[in-house]
């Protein structure tokens, strides 16, 4: 069964760049009917969508984070990656990668996150 796994440093210094990779096992990210995204959850708080990518390059960003976020995909490795620049303590969170799916007959705006990685805690601290 397809699984997602986040990887990357658990500690990042303020003003530096947070870099995470999501590896999709037993599956491919080159599916026309799936999007791939990142969601984060600060400790004790709710969920915040960050960015979504389709393997063709179509990308959707959370406007409040767009200036600091980069997402990319490596279809040969079934991986997609997140970079968040100029981090502060407010970026401390559990970061999840997730697959976004839905009926191909309706717009992706209606889709949901049907498969999630286990999440990785990233702490921003000096």
117 in contact with other proteins (CB under 8 A): yes
Minimum gap (Å) between residue 51 Cβ and other proteins: 10
What's phi and psi for 68, nearest 5 deg? Answer: -115, -5
Minimum gap (Å) between residue 74 Cβ and other proteins: 23
Out of 8, 27, 42, 102, name the contact with other proteins by CB under 8 A.
102
43 in contact with other proteins (CB under 8 A): no
Distances (CA, A) of 119 to 14, 38, 58: 21, 10, 24
119 in contact with other proteins (CB under 8 A): yes
112 in contact with other proteins (CB under 8 A): yes
Q: Which residues of the chain form contacts with other proteins (CB under 8 A)? A: 37, 46-49, 52, 60, 62-63, 96, 102-103, 106, 109-110, 112-114, 116-119
């Amino acid at each position: 069964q397809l699984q997602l796994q986040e990887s990357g440093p658990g500690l990042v210094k303020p003003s530096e760049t947070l870099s995470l990779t999501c590896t999709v096992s037993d599956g491919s990210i080159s599916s026309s009917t799936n999007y791939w995204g990142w969601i984060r959850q600060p400790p004790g708080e709710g969920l915040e969508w960050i960015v979504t990518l389709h393997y063709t390059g179509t990308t959707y960003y959370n406007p409040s984070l767009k200036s600091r976020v980069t997402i990319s995909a490596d279809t040969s490795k079934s991986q997609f990656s997140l970079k968040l620049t100029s981090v502060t303590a407010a970026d401390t969170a559990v970061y999840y990668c997730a697959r976004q799916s839905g009926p191909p007959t309706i717009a992706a705006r209606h889709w949901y996150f049907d498969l999630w990685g286990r999440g990785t805690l990233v702490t921003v601290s000096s």
